[in-house]
Every structure is written in C-alpha cells, then in structure tokens.
Structure 1
Amino acid sequence: MELAMAAEELRTVVNRLRRAQGQIAGVIKMIEEGRDCEDVVTQLAAASRALDKAGFAIIATGLQQCLTDGAMAASEDREEMRARLEKLFLSLA
C-alpha cells in the first residue's frame, strides 16, 4: 500500500510530527533540568497524542485510497487489505 497524500493532508501530518518532535525535545530538557514528574508526564502524554494523531491520519488516508481506488475488488484482496489495516491500527493502540 503506497502512501500518496494530498498536499494539505501531508502538511497537517508533518505539522503534527514537528509538534511532537518539539514536545519530545521539551521532555528531554525537563528531565535534564530535574523538573516535576507530573509536568514531565503531562508533556510526554501530549507528545504521544500528537504521534498517535499523525499515525491515524496516515492510516485513514490509506484506507480512503483503498476504498476509492478499488484496491479491494477481489475477496482475497479485501481480506488481505483488512488484515494489513487491522495490523496498522493495532500498532498504534
């Protein structure tokens, strides 16, 4: 399954990943500075959510492409695609 995203979708995903990158850098800095554990965990959770949202956006785009491109025409293809998409969703769970 190739990833071909529209420019706007791609920009949104990249922005989310950059935000997560900044949040992770912030977490590292907080740990190095000996910041409060609750603050560190809160920032880490925010980074995790940003990564999850980016991953789900990529998976949703892939699913949309599968449905619109007719890639799921044959029953064998459908089952294989379903298994691959399920594996992708579970990898983010």
Structure 2
Amino acid sequence: MAPELLNDPLKEENCCAISSERKSHDSVLVKQNLGCRLNRIEGQIRGIKGLIEKDTYCDDVITQISATQAALNSVAKILLEGHMRYGVVGRIQEGDREVLDKVLITIQKLMKK
C-alpha cells in the first residue's frame, strides 16, 4: 500500500458526510490505484477459471485463489483506511458516535473471511 496515495492532499476531508446520497470521495490517485488493483484481480479470476478448465492440479488452483483473496483484502484495507482517516474521524469530531458502531460492523464483515 503506497503511503503517498493514502496521504493524498487531493483527498476531501469528509468522505462519509451525512447526505441524501452516500459517496466515497477518494482522490483520483487512490481511485486509479484501486482500479489497477481490481483489474489485476479480474485477470487473476479469469486465470483461475482457465486453470480449472485445463484440469490444473488442485493445489496450484488453490494457491492462485489464495493470492486473489489477498489482493482483494488489500483493496479492502485501502478503502477502510481512507474511510477511517477521512470520514469516520470527521464524524466523530462532529459528535456522531453512531459511526463507530457502523465501522465495527464493517470490520467484523472483513474479519469473517
């Protein structure tokens, strides 16, 4: 995870502001980084499908699945960090304590894996 992308000055301060429409406010660089990672993951998934179609040894397929899961977890970590730094902190400073419950639920979802 590149630190320069996480501390991007283009990042808006309150990514999770309460509004009628919830949106992420990730900077262009973070979005590009995530897009590249997701493109690679998409390629890994196609590769796994190809391995299965070719009757590749199961252990090799499982290794590729594990690598793909790790890549997805990396994307989730980047998103969670941005969410915490630029959304949750601001909402807590504004007195919104409910955001903590929501973050804990999100973290529990990630940890189920």
Decide: shared fold, TM above 0.5.
yes
Q: TM-score band, normalised by the shorter chain?
A: 0.7 to 0.9
Q: Which runs of 5+ in 2 are unaligned?
A: 1-15, 17-22
2:108 matched to 1:87? no
The Cα offsets for residues 65-91 of structure 1, whole Å up to 9 and x where unpaired, read as 122xx22121xx12x111111111221
Structure having the higher helix fraction is 1
Q: Which runs of 5+ in 1 are unaligned?
A: none
Which portions of structure 1, spanning 4 or more consecutive aligned residues, are displaced by more than 4 angstroms?
none
Size of the aligned set, in residue pairs, is 88
Structure 1 residues 56-75: aligned runs within 5 Å: 56-66=77-87, 67=89, 70-72=90-92, 73-74=94-95
- Does structure 2 conserve the Cα–Cα contact (< 8 Å) formed by 1:56 and 1:89? no
1:54 & 1:61 partners in 2: Cα distance? 11
Give me the TM-score of the superposition, normalised by structure 1: 0.86
Identical counterparts, % of pairs: 25
1:49 & 1:26 partners in 2: Cα distance? 15
Give me the TM-score of the superposition, normalised by structure 2: 0.72
